[in-house]
Structure 1
Amino acid sequence: MTEQTTDIQQHTGEPGNAKIVYILYFISLVVGITGLVGLVMAYIYKSDAPDWLRDHYRWQIRTFWIGLLYGFIGVVTAMFLVGYLILLFTLVWFIVRCVKGLQRLEKRQPLADSGSWMF
Structure 2
Amino acid sequence: MTDIAPAPDRVEKDKVLPIVVYALYLLGFTNGLTFLVGLIVAYLNRDTAGPINASHYIFAIRTFWLSIWWFLIGLALIFVGLALLVLLIGIPIMIVGGTIMGAISVWFVVRTIMGLVYLLKGEAYPRPRTWLI
Using structure 1 for the length normalisation, give the TM-score: 0.91
CA distance in 1, matches of 2:113, 2:37: 19
CA distance in 2, matches of 1:4, 1:61: 28
* Unaligned stretches of 5+ residues in structure 2: 82-92
CA distance in 1, matches of 2:45, 2:15: 10
Fraction of identical pairs, as percent: 30
CA distance in 2, matches of 1:74, 1:13: 39
- Alignment of 1:116 with 2:130, yes or no, is yes
What's the C-alpha RMSD, in Å, of the aligned pairs? 1.6
Alignment match of 1:106 (pick from 90, 96, 120): 120
* Unaligned stretches of 5+ residues in structure 1: none
Instruction: Report the equivalent of 2:90.
Output: none
- My pick for the range that moved more, 61-70 or 78-87, is 78-87
Larger radius of gyration: 2
- 1:28-107 alignment runs, 5 A limit: 28-78=28-78, 79=81, 80-81=93-94, 82-107=96-121
CA distance in 1, matches of 2:4, 2:69: 43
Detail structure 1 runs of 4+ shifted over 3 Å in the superposition. Answer: 3-6
Offset from partner CA, 1:6-51 (integer Å, 9 cap, x none): 32422x3411000000000001112111000000000111111111
Using structure 2 for the length normalisation, give the TM-score: 0.82
